[in-house]
Structure 1
């Protein structure tokens, strides 16, 4: 066979979920909701020679006897109904039947509005007591607490179970490229351990599919795929084969495997918190077929290893989290005890340098430069600060490759290839900047990552032949070790503590307070405009619209439009009231009284039951110590936080919301937590801003004012509020009231 020519210019956008063909070791038939055949694979006639040639448009019952002659009548429709009822075909897959006297598996999946019926032989190239082997392998895998030992042992166990020539554990980096972290192979094969592969080898859309299909078999790269047949009468939209077991392989990837000399591959996805961490990638140098049940059993190994990896990573993150939280707590106490913010942050037994894993830090505050550890020269720091002021808008900015954004930093890469910056005041040029030095790294690629293909005379690209997989070394310069999520969280929390201490101590002498005063005056003017110039015409719009709805001659379409006007007027009125509430808090004086929190929480819980569907809600109320403050405002704080917790955890099952207070040296801290959507770490610094709503809650009703009101009330009470959150795992708000 001549080597295939393939255009690689758009390989990262190749629609691999709609290939229009399937692998040839099985066949499929696709039916609509009424069980009429709308698609089939061209090779169906190879497996069922006596099947009618005019398949399209026939009812599946017409051919059931050919598929499973020993099955009861209408058995496919019964399987479909069972899956519809369970909203999943996990319990029926695979269904074993008989085709032409040979055992076959029927695997059913959903593809948009169709049902894909895939048929594979029920025999395998493996003849093992797989259940016993997998049980033993999992026990041996989990016995190792060292992460590298765990990966090495896992690769060996998987090789023992499935018998492929080479088994690798392959981890993806943030930029999509991968590295072989562990390997088990036949003795005659060259080692690939430690090799890196460019992101183009497994492009983004392929990585997304690995999150959906946790195993992927390519039985034989030398077979010709079978085309998917349909009719224009059923539409022209290609069939989505995302969930298909037989989905054909990208011709680019097939050629890639051929160039490596691989005849068969099998992969098992490894996930971390729902994202693709890596793959157990298995290569064989002769064709191999693994039946569906064996693949499902192998998937269990991947799921167990994913859980073990997640546990090890969470354990490591928790240790970092506790260390950083301890440092920030100490710094917070120092700032409240001493009159000097600089002394509190830089001259105690714990300093801001320990808030992250950095080798140097600079505090630019009140026209002073306070340095710790390894940092650039003063003039370089001033130039960097000027660049930050004009180019960086994020509350927390971090990069492990500073010179890529700011070329002048290359001059001091030995101390500052990576920086993390938190802005205290852009107007006053006040920042905290942490520095990480250059971390020289030699990466060994399996071929030159910059030349994945060769240009041919006819203008097309051809995947490079075998020599492109020979080791190719690259030294990475101007980069530091990456910043970890726990470091980012630590800096976000530290900034809140610094700003709290500054606001407590600085008084009227700071420019920030003058600007706040001006902002309050503008807000008062804005509030007056809203209440007098907007609410009156808004009431008129609503009243006139309601009058028009009484007109019995109106068409239904007009009636709907008027109903929408009334609804939107109510919505706008609600948002106006929210803004007015926000502005009033700044003008209100507080009379501190003792507040019994328990009755407030119980009343709010009853109201939540009226407003939301709380049938699956588990509301846990712990200790509720009394606090000092304004009862009405404090009730507003708890109502807002608990309402948010219930609203944004509504998709969780079970839905768990908890509130508990505890006494500390500084006062009383209440924590309100949920197991809901969570907040992206990059958006955490912005959640208390007015009208700021997170990207993942745009479909949930809200004004974006509630948390701004809560923060303003807490600050009015001379308290603090901060948040811990993680996407997909929930949110916890902490509110501290002073004694």
Structure 2
């Protein structure tokens, strides 16, 4: 017997992108860039009457008369040329005739190959789905309530495709899913509200749902057809990620069989480029929906995705504005009050208003101030000691405190969720927020702790998904609601305001400034070392490399190495100059004059667009109130921020940046927004640190000094700078100067 250990974790490494076979309701031909047949599905002879010759290595033109007898010569090449220019969604499906039967030809690309997939154009649907879509969409969107929207969608899709069960399935943060809406035949048991373990749809399968927005499994009992090809035995396998006919994982097929499902159809729901959930349709007898009908159904999914995004963003924006107003009020209070502690805890707006919490604690200047519902003083003291020993990051949050700190079990009802912002690690000063335990009973479709069974067949261990889908209840304890992105951003903004207020009020007496003074002295020494000990040898390295490059006897490989030495020398020289500039800012005297920001920004955008070859850049310049400041330094601030905005949005299509200024009672605030790659929320606290580069920007040129220079210049002007950003959604940098 094979003793190999198997469980549903095998799903995460199962090669579902390269299954080596397709579903048998259609057939596949794969050609290379030269139109030569490299792979084909074994069932091709069930559909085509081919001459008794080998297909591999033959040009596709040799069988074009068979797969499209009424088509013009070379029609497949014409489809590929058109599709590569305009997108294959403009050519798919191509209606053709094979042996007197109507077929859809669907073309897609897989690395250096082109997939030619042939599916019957007939469908088990009796209705013209395209004609029904418009009416169904209007009925879907009739209600603004999110749950009603989901319910309407499930009902409308069931009425269109007439599957036995239609579910809307939403993914949670941990990957498990929940049925949040359902339309079903009356003889079927309801699945609404049931949860399914993450292993039911593993991560790699969820990634493929973002590539193909619809997925049909016509008959779980049909035998798949193997793909034949000379290269299948090599290390490089045929990637079927974009294929419509891609065979189904045997584990998933068994899973559907265990549920009694014969056919399934899914439509992906996308929220900000991530998989929000699925419209999952089950039928208890085989069903086939042709490509055109699937595309019409995909349109419904895309419209629902847009509606979900709009409703969720609308809700998020409302929450964001509420938190933003609270932080702004606390900022004003701190600047106007003699006591930061009072400003944060005894006004109408307090620390409790920057997030949805039930308790908050300010540990500041040897005092512990409690707001709302919190643990008692003794327990708080013990918790603070644990935080001081354990928490290393500037911000730290959890929704399961008692799992990390068992003593918190005694007060989990009031403090299962905890968020810590460290004001000063050395002085043990913190702001702590608490969320209460959120008791919930989750109804699982089967026991999630036993997601699979292992059968022994023919002497081998075989994975078998669970067979029992009976309702299994689990009560979750010791867990709060999660900390949302809006709450994290709100607290990060407050963090900046508290730091600014502390520096303004107590800059000469706090330990932080002593450390800053020491750091500045060390930086001066470091700058001197760079000037005298690094620049000269660097110049020597560059000079010698340039001399060697003139030697005509050097091999191309050697010249390439010398060229890299030269480029690295230039990069290091740039870093040295920027660090020296960072050091000089602290010593330079300010010469404040009125600065015309409009002209400054227009000139810099024009010059930077040329430098980064951003010809299609869309720039919006709003109000630009005059600033009082050092013209050279302020120019450097805008240059760095605009340079970053253009540089990191070049991959967007189109790249967009906007610059807006506004005037409040006490400040002039500028914002610079781009639609670029964005910043991970976990890296926002360190974005202005020296030499700090974000993980997603490693392949983009930069030294990690520019934003540190911006921060130092702005603080020298007694201003403040902060950022609001999310991955793949762009960034907004804010500058605030006193009036």
The 5 Å alignment of 1:696-707 reads 696-707=696-707
Provide the residue aligned with 1:200 in structure 2.
Answer: 199
Provide the residue aligned with 2:603 in structure 1.
Answer: 603
Over 3 Å counting, the alpha-carbon distance change for 1:52 and 1:114 in structure 2 is farther
Q: Which moved more, 1:282-291 or 1:674-683?
A: 674-683
SS in 1 for 2:126: coil
In the alignment, the residues of structure 2 paired with residue 50 and residue 18 of structure 1 have an alpha-carbon distance, to the nearest angstrom, of 27
Preserved contact between residue 38 and residue 234 of structure 1 (Cα < 8 Å): no
Provide the residue aligned with 1:593 in structure 2.
Answer: 593
> Displacement of 1:459 after TM fit?
7.3
> Displacement of 1:465 after TM fit?
5.8
The 5 Å alignment of 1:204-243 reads 204-232=203-231, 235-243=234-242
SS in 2 for 1:179: strand
Preserved contact between residue 6 and residue 454 of structure 2 (Cα < 8 Å): no
| 1:348-394 deviations in Å (ceiling 9; x for gaps) | 00001111000000011111101001111222222222222232222
Provide the residue aligned with 1:734 in structure 2.
Answer: 734
The 5 Å alignment of 1:455-534 reads 455-456=454-455, 460=461, 462-463=463-464, 466=467, 468-534=468-534
In the alignment, the residues of structure 1 paired with residue 225 and residue 614 of structure 2 have an alpha-carbon distance, to the nearest angstrom, of 51
Matched, 1:74 2:71: no
| 1:305-348 deviations in Å (ceiling 9; x for gaps) | 00000011001001100100000000000000001010000000
> Displacement of 1:399 after TM fit?
1.2
Preserved contact between residue 251 and residue 465 of structure 2 (Cα < 8 Å): no
In the alignment, the residues of structure 1 paired with residue 285 and residue 554 of structure 2 have an alpha-carbon distance, to the nearest angstrom, of 75
In the alignment, the residues of structure 2 paired with residue 462 and residue 659 of structure 1 have an alpha-carbon distance, to the nearest angstrom, of 57
Matched, 1:311 2:310: yes
Matched, 1:559 2:559: yes
Matched, 1:169 2:185: no
Q: Number of aligned pairs?
A: 733
> Displacement of 1:447 after TM fit?
0.2
Provide the residue aligned with 1:540 in structure 2.
Answer: 540
The 5 Å alignment of 1:710-725 reads 710-725=710-725
In the alignment, the residues of structure 2 paired with residue 9 and residue 204 of structure 1 have an alpha-carbon distance, to the nearest angstrom, of 10
Provide the residue aligned with 2:416 in structure 1.
Answer: 417
Q: Which moved more, 1:543-552 or 1:724-733?
A: 543-552
Preserved contact between residue 454 and residue 464 of structure 2 (Cα < 8 Å): no
SS in 2 for 1:317: helix
> Displacement of 1:613 after TM fit?
1.0
The 5 Å alignment of 1:563-582 reads 563-582=563-582
For structure 2, the residue ranges without an aligned partner over 5 or more in a row are none
Provide the residue aligned with 2:329 in structure 1.
Answer: 330
In the alignment, the residues of structure 1 paired with residue 231 and residue 655 of structure 2 have an alpha-carbon distance, to the nearest angstrom, of 46
| 1:584-603 deviations in Å (ceiling 9; x for gaps) | 11222223222222332233
Q: Which moved more, 1:353-362 or 1:720-729?
A: 720-729
Over 3 Å counting, the alpha-carbon distance change for 1:452 and 1:510 in structure 2 is same
SS in 2 for 1:416: coil
Preserved contact between residue 147 and residue 312 of structure 1 (Cα < 8 Å): yes
> Displacement of 1:48 after TM fit?
1.1
Preserved contact between residue 251 and residue 463 of structure 2 (Cα < 8 Å): no
SS in 1 for 2:311: helix
SS in 2 for 1:414: coil
Over 3 Å counting, the alpha-carbon distance change for 1:347 and 1:8 in structure 2 is closer
In the alignment, the residues of structure 1 paired with residue 455 and residue 230 of structure 2 have an alpha-carbon distance, to the nearest angstrom, of 37
| 1:562-609 deviations in Å (ceiling 9; x for gaps) | 222222111111000111111111222223222222332233123213
Provide the residue aligned with 2:130 in structure 1.
Answer: 131
In the alignment, the residues of structure 2 paired with residue 432 and residue 8 of structure 1 have an alpha-carbon distance, to the nearest angstrom, of 42
Over 3 Å counting, the alpha-carbon distance change for 1:715 and 1:31 in structure 2 is same
SS in 1 for 2:508: helix
Over 3 Å counting, the alpha-carbon distance change for 1:464 and 1:716 in structure 2 is closer
Provide the residue aligned with 1:261 in structure 2.
Answer: 260
SS in 2 for 1:609: helix
Preserved contact between residue 232 and residue 238 of structure 2 (Cα < 8 Å): no
For structure 1, the residue ranges without an aligned partner over 5 or more in a row are none
In the alignment, the residues of structure 1 paired with residue 245 and residue 269 of structure 2 have an alpha-carbon distance, to the nearest angstrom, of 21
Matched, 1:615 2:615: yes
Preserved contact between residue 722 and residue 734 of structure 1 (Cα < 8 Å): yes
In the alignment, the residues of structure 2 paired with residue 332 and residue 418 of structure 1 have an alpha-carbon distance, to the nearest angstrom, of 25
TM-score scaled to structure 2, two decimals? 0.97
SS in 2 for 1:241: coil
Preserved contact between residue 263 and residue 285 of structure 2 (Cα < 8 Å): yes
Preserved contact between residue 609 and residue 646 of structure 2 (Cα < 8 Å): no
| 1:641-668 deviations in Å (ceiling 9; x for gaps) | 1111111111112221111211111121
> Displacement of 1:614 after TM fit?
2.6
Matched, 1:299 2:271: no
In the alignment, the residues of structure 2 paired with residue 628 and residue 464 of structure 1 have an alpha-carbon distance, to the nearest angstrom, of 69
SS in 2 for 1:735: strand
In the alignment, the residues of structure 1 paired with residue 728 and residue 507 of structure 2 have an alpha-carbon distance, to the nearest angstrom, of 40
Provide the residue aligned with 1:141 in structure 2.
Answer: 140
In the alignment, the residues of structure 2 paired with residue 645 and residue 322 of structure 1 have an alpha-carbon distance, to the nearest angstrom, of 24
In the alignment, the residues of structure 1 paired with residue 355 and residue 96 of structure 2 have an alpha-carbon distance, to the nearest angstrom, of 60
Q: Which moved more, 1:573-582 or 1:650-659?
A: 650-659
Preserved contact between residue 452 and residue 463 of structure 1 (Cα < 8 Å): no
In the alignment, the residues of structure 2 paired with residue 535 and residue 208 of structure 1 have an alpha-carbon distance, to the nearest angstrom, of 48
The 5 Å alignment of 1:416-435 reads 416-435=415-434
In the alignment, the residues of structure 2 paired with residue 70 and residue 502 of structure 1 have an alpha-carbon distance, to the nearest angstrom, of 80
The 5 Å alignment of 1:663-682 reads 663-682=663-682
SS in 2 for 1:187: coil
Preserved contact between residue 6 and residue 252 of structure 1 (Cα < 8 Å): no
In the alignment, the residues of structure 2 paired with residue 22 and residue 271 of structure 1 have an alpha-carbon distance, to the nearest angstrom, of 26
- What RMSD in Å do the two structures reach over aligned CA positions? 1.5
Over 3 Å counting, the alpha-carbon distance change for 1:554 and 1:461 in structure 2 is closer
In the alignment, the residues of structure 2 paired with residue 201 and residue 71 of structure 1 have an alpha-carbon distance, to the nearest angstrom, of 44
Preserved contact between residue 6 and residue 463 of structure 1 (Cα < 8 Å): no
> Displacement of 1:554 after TM fit?
2.6
> Displacement of 1:131 after TM fit?
2.0
Q: Which moved more, 1:171-180 or 1:407-416?
A: 407-416
Q: Which moved more, 1:688-697 or 1:330-339?
A: 688-697
Matched, 1:46 2:32: no
Provide the residue aligned with 1:633 in structure 2.
Answer: 633
Over 3 Å counting, the alpha-carbon distance change for 1:234 and 1:187 in structure 2 is closer
In the alignment, the residues of structure 2 paired with residue 45 and residue 191 of structure 1 have an alpha-carbon distance, to the nearest angstrom, of 43
> Displacement of 1:677 after TM fit?
1.3
Preserved contact between residue 7 and residue 461 of structure 1 (Cα < 8 Å): no
Over 3 Å counting, the alpha-carbon distance change for 1:210 and 1:536 in structure 2 is same
Matched, 1:115 2:95: no
